[in-house]
Amino acid sequence: MGIKHGSRDAVRLGELALLAQIRSRTGHSRGTGLRLGIGDDCALLRLKAGEELAVTTDLSIAGRHFRLDWHQPEAIGHRVLARGLSDLAAMGARPAAAFLSLGLPRELTVATGRRPAWVERFYDGLLALAENHKTALAGGDLAESPIAVADIVLVGAVRQGRVLLRSGAQIGDLLYVTGALGGAAAGLARLAEIAGPPSTGKVSLRPPRIPRALESALAAHFFPQPRIAQGLWLVRHKLASAALDLSDGLSTDLAHLCEESGVAAEVDAAALPVADGANPMQALNGGEDYELLFTAPATARLPRSISGVPVTRIGRIVRPRRGRPQVTLVGARGAEPLVPLGWEHFS
Amino acid sequence: MGIKHGSRDAVRLGELALLAQIRSRTGHSRGTGLRLGIGDDCALLRLKAGEELAVTTDLSIAGRHFRLDWHQPEAIGHRVLARGLSDLAAMGARPAAAFLSLGLPRELTVATGRRPAWVERFYDGLLALAENHKTALAGGDLAESPIAVADIVLVGAVRQGRVLLRSGAQIGDLLYVTGALGGAAAGLARLAEIAGPPSTGKVSLRPPRIPRALESALAAHFFPQPRIAQGLWLVRHKLASAALDLSDGLSTDLAHLCEESGVAAEVDAAALPVADGANPMQALNGGEDYELLFTAPATARLPRSISGVPVTRIGRIVRPRRGRPQVTLVGARGAEPLVPLGWEHFS
């Protein structure tokens, strides 16, 4: 490990120059406690006294979590890191370091003429988001692979005993989300229209040209923003009783929270902050928004926004009762069960 | 993250029962500082005061790092974890927790009749080695994938300032290895004979039957033993000046050590501990032995074995000179350059 810069895998990929470049772009410690990055068998980190460690890994696979013929390499790099950062945000952890294991077909590592290699543009997207969140890329692994796979590992730090868990929700707590919901799903639906039907046979490496006018409509899908600052704020102010990030969609993730906390929940349909261009079904079931879903006691005074991102009360935690659905959607037509209809990926 | 036990990926794989089973097998903290394992957005760990964190990731890909038609699932699980543990051993770190991201074709997750699913046997091998080294499997990710991929993450702890680096070798130091060299490469060569030529078209999931008489000859390849106890011993006794693990082969890994330390090295051909059944070329260039290569001052008194594994002096660190090879092999016919001929995987 480290990225073993002289290893056979690296040599095979013709990657020595690329790896040196990555190393030069990622060696900064930035005061995150990173003592030693790429180049030895392991990376070394130090935490501050009284901190504990949060670790998360997320595997992204071409054709399932992203498509080479749909997504710009920068967006894929961004999305890979965003998945991991969002898990830290959900715990209220401060990012300390990221590790990336990357398996790539050879053609994605080769620059053609004046155009940079796919992998360089992938790193551009990943490192730009890492920079935004002061997260060092501290190591990883690199191998040739018949399909593109990327496993991101995030190591974060949180004050002992202050972490936000899924299991802390109490009956009577109120339910909140950050930001708006359904934007990623709506963007994906637009992208599917632009990109057309799946290509057959060998997948093109050329994603479709996105019309300027649609760029902002697709941003929630291409470049979701992990809510690190909001998670840290909730920990600092000791307001939240439980939290998770909306990766699979509200209906699915809220069921997880209820299950881990042993509670039930009611969601007010009219209160849902539906993203511009999204419909209510996308807000309820669309995944990959990476907003935070959290609970707080009814006595807690939540602000309308945290670090510029709106906070909306969308419902409440109630006592679970046999024969009643775990999550209920309360709308104009009365109450109905909110069935988990989690995220459909690309397969 | 965690292994999100209700996630779509898991449901797709028909894995709920399997994940519950994994969770039940891996939730033990074992005093390693693991506070929270599978089930939330991140795993949580605490280190002891004065410890720092070592993190390593290693990506294994079917057809490259293992073959479904050559390796029993238990051996693949063992080898995946051994790669990561060996990186910790090379730093002298104590394993604290492992995380596994696994992408699998659907057929590897399905039990047929009374035969357990491939993935269950994979976990059998991985968890048996984890148990040997008191390492908790604290989380990971799981997704359907057209090819089998496994990314292992190891988090370890080491006393601050006591870590073994590649960069610490000094001119005049002596060069040592643990165990015997070339056994994994010799085993692989035997395996290739037994398995026959690569199958064409769809890869069989049925590895070849290994004759009883050959089992021990193949053990070094199937079940390499990471030298955790030896790395910890070296740190405790403050004897080593530099170390790494032999994953790519002596000729390649020694070049890494020289490069990171800014030194050159001489290896005594006659001193090499060649494994039973291996030839000297396999001992020099064969990878995946996962023995430790380390340096120590000439004044240091090394024992003949550490925790039952032999320690052999194989050469010395010398001043690098322009026009001279970085690593020299000294044999009966005089000195010749030892060119890095690292490990060939299966592709």
Q: What is the CATH number of the domain that holds A46?
A: 3.30.1330.10
Q: What letter does residue B70 receive in the DSSP assignment?
A: T
Tell me which residue range forms the domain holding B29. 8-159
**Strand residues in B269-342 grouped as ranges (E):** 292-296, 305-306, 309-318, 327-331, 334-337
CA-to-CA distance for B2 and B141, rounded, in angstroms? 7
Q: Is the pLDDT of residue B24 over 70?
A: no
Find chain A residues with C-beta within 8 A of B41's C-beta.
Answer: 56, 87-88, 90-91, 166, 244-245
Predicted pLDDT at A14? 46
CA-to-CA distance for A25 and A127, rounded, in angstroms? 8
Using alpha carbons only, what angle is made at residue A78 by residues A74 and A82, rounded to the nearest 5 degrees? 170
H/E element holding B43? Answer: strand B43-45
Question: Whose CA is closest to B136, among B228, B15, B16, B45?
Answer: B45
pTM, two decimal places: 0.90
**Strand residues in A133-193 grouped as ranges (E):** 136-144, 149-159, 174-178
CA-to-CA distance for B101 and A1, rounded, in angstroms? 16
Find chain A residues with C-beta within 8 A of B9's C-beta.
Answer: 345
Predicted pLDDT at B42? 87
Smallest CA–CA distance, residue B301 to chain A, in Å, is 25
Interface mutation target, options B55, B141, B152, B261, chain A, most CBs of A under 10 Å = B55
Question: Are A299 and A292 a contacting pair, CB within 8 Å?
Answer: no
Residue A288 and residue A179 share a domain: yes
**Sequence-distant (≥ 6) Cβ neighbours of residue B264 within 8 angstroms:** B258, B317, B318, B319, B320, B321, B324, B325, B326, B327, B328
Q: Is the pLDDT of residue B298 over 50?
A: yes
Are the Cβ atoms of B43 and A56 closer than 8 angstroms? yes
Give pLDDT tens digits for B148-198: 999 999 999 999 989 999 999 999 999 999 999 999 999 999 998 888 766
Question: Whose CA is closest to B340, among B218, B207, B246?
Answer: B246
Find chain A residues with C-beta within 8 A of B154's C-beta.
Answer: 42
Question: Are A172 and A206 a contacting pair, CB within 8 Å?
Answer: no
Are the Cβ atoms of B147 and A151 closer than 8 angstroms? no
Q: Is the pLDDT of residue B3 over 60?
A: no
CA-to-CA distance for B276 and A102, rounded, in angstroms? 36
Predicted pLDDT at A113? 85
Residue B170 and residue B309 share a domain: yes
Question: Whose CA is closest to A109, among A26, A21, A6, A42?
Answer: A21
Question: Are A220 and A186 a contacting pair, CB within 8 Å?
Answer: yes
Using alpha carbons only, what angle is made at residue A8 by residues A130 and B214, rounded to the nearest 5 degrees? 125
- Identify whether B109 is part of a domain: yes
- Identify whether B91 is part of a domain: yes
Residue B54 and residue B104 share a domain: yes
CATH, residue A284: 3.90.650.10
Count of pairs with CB atoms under 8 A, one residue in A, one in B = 238
Are the Cβ atoms of A1 and B84 closer than 8 angstroms? yes
Predicted pLDDT at A7? 42
Predicted pLDDT at A11? 39
- Identify whether B290 is part of a domain: yes
Are the Cβ atoms of A58 and B343 closer than 8 angstroms? no
Residue A107 and residue A182 share a domain: no
- Identify whether B345 is part of a domain: no
Are the Cβ atoms of B1 and A57 closer than 8 angstroms? yes
CA-to-CA distance for B228 and A265, rounded, in angstroms? 48
Residue A177 and residue A127 share a domain: no
Closest B-chain CA to A168:
B40
Question: Are A108 and A148 a contacting pair, CB within 8 Å?
Answer: yes
Are the Cβ atoms of A53 and B59 closer than 8 angstroms? no
Question: Are A253 and A246 a contacting pair, CB within 8 Å?
Answer: yes
Are the Cβ atoms of A46 and B56 closer than 8 angstroms? no
Are the Cβ atoms of A101 and B255 closer than 8 angstroms? no
- Identify whether B271 is part of a domain: yes
Find chain A residues with C-beta within 8 A of B151's C-beta.
Answer: 57, 59, 101, 141, 151
Question: Would you call B212 exposed, middle or buried from its count of C-beta atoms within 10 A (0-12, 13-18, 19+)?
Answer: exposed
Higher pLDDT, A334 or B40: A334
Q: Is the pLDDT of residue B21 over 70?
A: no
- Identify whether B122 is part of a domain: yes
Q: Which of B90, B145, B167 sits opposite A61 (nearest CB)?
A: B145
Interface mutation target, options A47, A100, A151, chain B, most CBs of B under 10 Å = A151
Residue A106 and residue A18 share a domain: yes
How many H-runs (helices) and E-runs (strands) does chain B carry? 9, 14
Predicted confidence band at B46 (pLDDT cuts at 50, 70, 90)?
confident
Give pLDDT tens digits for B65-100: 999 999 999 999 999 999 999 999 999 999 999 999
Residue A144 and residue A28 share a domain: yes
Q: Which of A39, A61, A140 sits opposite B103 (nearest CB)?
A: A61
Are the Cβ atoms of B64 and A343 closer than 8 angstroms? no
Residue A147 and residue A86 share a domain: yes
Give pLDDT tens digits for A59-81: 999 999 999 999 999 999 999 99
- Identify whether B281 is part of a domain: yes
Smallest CA–CA distance, residue A201 to chain B, in Å, is 15
**Strand residues in B75-178 grouped as ranges (E):** 94-104, 136-144, 149-159, 174-178
Q: What is the mean pLDDT of each run of 10 residues along chain A (347 residues)?
A: 40 48 55 67 87 94 93 97 97 95 93 89 96 93 94 95 94 98 95 76 71 87 97 97 96 96 98 96 95 98 97 98 95 93 54
**Average of pLDDT values for B218-224?**
95
Q: Which of B41, B64, B149 sits opposite A91 (nearest CB)?
A: B41
Closest A-chain CA to B63:
A145
Cβ atoms within 10 Å of B76's Cβ, excluding its own: 26
Whole-number CA gyration radius for chain B: 21
Q: Is the pLDDT of residue B214 over 70?
A: yes
Closest B-chain CA to A244:
B41
Predicted pLDDT at B329? 97
CA-to-CA distance for B56 and A92, rounded, in angstroms? 24
- Identify whether B22 is part of a domain: yes
Predicted confidence band at B45 (pLDDT cuts at 50, 70, 90)?
confident
Residue B29 and residue B155 share a domain: yes
Question: Would you call A54 exposed, middle or buried from its count of C-beta atoms within 10 A (0-12, 13-18, 19+)?
Answer: buried
Q: Which of B55, B102, B103 sits opposite A43 (nearest CB)?
A: B55
Are the Cβ atoms of B61 and A156 closer than 8 angstroms? no
Residue B120 and residue B178 share a domain: no
Residue B276 and residue B247 share a domain: yes
Smallest CA–CA distance, residue B258 to chain A, in Å, is 12
CA-to-CA distance for A183 and A297, rounded, in angstroms? 28
H/E element holding B52? Answer: strand B51-61
Distance in angstroms between the alpha carbons of the first and the last residue of chain A: 31
For B28-42, B116-130, B263-277, which range has the lowest pLDDT when averaged over its residues? B28-42
Closest B-chain CA to A97:
B55
Closest B-chain CA to A342:
B8
Are the Cβ atoms of A44 and B58 closer than 8 angstroms? no
Average model confidence (pLDDT) across chain B: 88
Cβ atoms within 10 Å of B246's Cβ, excluding its own: 27
Count of domains for chain A? 2
Smallest CA–CA distance, residue A313 to chain B, in Å, is 22
Question: Whose CA is closest to A314, among A182, A178, A187, A195?
Answer: A178
Question: Are B58 and B87 a contacting pair, CB within 8 Å?
Answer: yes
Looking at B141, B159, B177, which one is the last position of a domain?
B159
Are the Cβ atoms of B55 and A88 closer than 8 angstroms? no
Are the Cβ atoms of A153 and B99 closer than 8 angstroms? yes
Amino acid at A229: A
CA-to-CA distance for A1 and B255, rounded, in angstroms? 16
Are the Cβ atoms of B245 and A56 closer than 8 angstroms? no
Question: Are B286 and B186 a contacting pair, CB within 8 Å?
Answer: yes
Residue A170 and residue A119 share a domain: no
Q: Is the pLDDT of residue B29 over 80?
A: no
3-state helix, strand, coil in chain A (%, to 5): 30, 30, 40
Smallest CA–CA distance, residue B211 to chain A, in Å, is 32
CA-to-CA distance for A26 and A172, rounded, in angstroms? 46
CA-to-CA distance for B138 and B99, rounded, in angstroms? 6
Predicted pLDDT at A9? 45
